[in-house]
Amino acid sequence: MTIDEAIRERHTVKIFKKKPIPTDIAKQLNDRIKALNEGLDVYMSLVLNDSSALNAAVRIAMTKNINNYIVLSGKNESDLEEKLGYGGADIMLFAQTLGLNTWWVSGTFNKGKAREIGGIPGTNLIKGIIIIGYGENNGIPHKSKKPQDVSVYNGKTPPFWFIRGVGSALLAPTAMNKQAFMIKGHGDKVSIKYDKGPFSGLELGIIKYHFEVGAGRENFSYE
């Protein structure tokens, strides 16, 4: 499965099998996380066989066997959230290509525990966790806005790469499935904005990642 295919396959999963993540799969995840951490200058950390970073609300809300997660953290800089959104999207989709399922949680988790168990440096900010494991099911597609609700291309028919990019962005996870983004294009230029909200930096990074995979990075530049 490619990352592009994973975008179509990925949905939030909250009910997992007991099956642990095998060592060779954990190594692939850790290698990818290390490369993302170095490339983006963030600090994501895979925690296996622990559920203490989940708070009670999440644990009782129709969940099962949540035993692994990735803590999303980094230095207190203005673009931290966008970078974690971008890197988190990559690791979620990479996990999907390895046959795993995921659930992004930025609101309802225990930051103190995530810091302690994830070995996060005291000065880092923590912006969420990505729960990961083998789902009992693959989840279901979220309700989606239409391309015309979230994009505009210079008032005329958009090129194929733009249409594909918007389609990928509409498949991305957003907090409470708000999909509060706007993608504008003209010529080979694109701008992407996300409405202000508690997680809008993360969501902007996630949407940019999805758009880039769908559109092809070689077809456009940001303005």
**Residue 11 near ligand FMN by CB under 6 A:** yes
Candidate list 40, 66, 80, 105; residue touching ligand FMN; CB under 6 A: 105
CA distances for 166 relative to 161, 171, 196, angstroms: 9, 9, 20
Candidate list 174, 183, 204, 205; residue touching ligand FMN; CB under 6 A: 174
Query: Nearest distance from residue 168's CB to ligand FMN, in Å?
Result: 12
**Residue 203 near ligand FMN by CB under 6 A:** yes
Element (H, E) at 131: strand 125-133
Please give the residues from 42 up to 81 whose contact with ligand FMN meets the rule CB under 6 A. none
Counting every residue written for the chain, the total comes to 223
b vs e for 174-212, b when ≥16 Cβ sit within 10 Å of the residue's Cβ?
Answer: bbeeebbbebebeeeebebebeeeebbbbbbbbbbbbbb
Query: Nearest distance from residue 18's CB to ligand FMN, in Å?
Result: 21
CA distance 100 to 71: 17
Instruction: Using CB under 6 A, count the residues that bind ligand FMN.
Output: 18
Candidate list 37, 55, 65, 108; residue touching ligand FMN; CB under 6 A: 108
**DSSP label at 15?**
B
**Residue 177 near ligand FMN by CB under 6 A:** yes
CA distance 161 to 172: 17
Candidate list 20, 139, 159, 197; residue touching ligand FMN; CB under 6 A: 139
> What residue ranges bind ligand FMN (CB under 6 A)?
11-12, 104-108, 139, 142, 173-177, 199, 202-203, 206
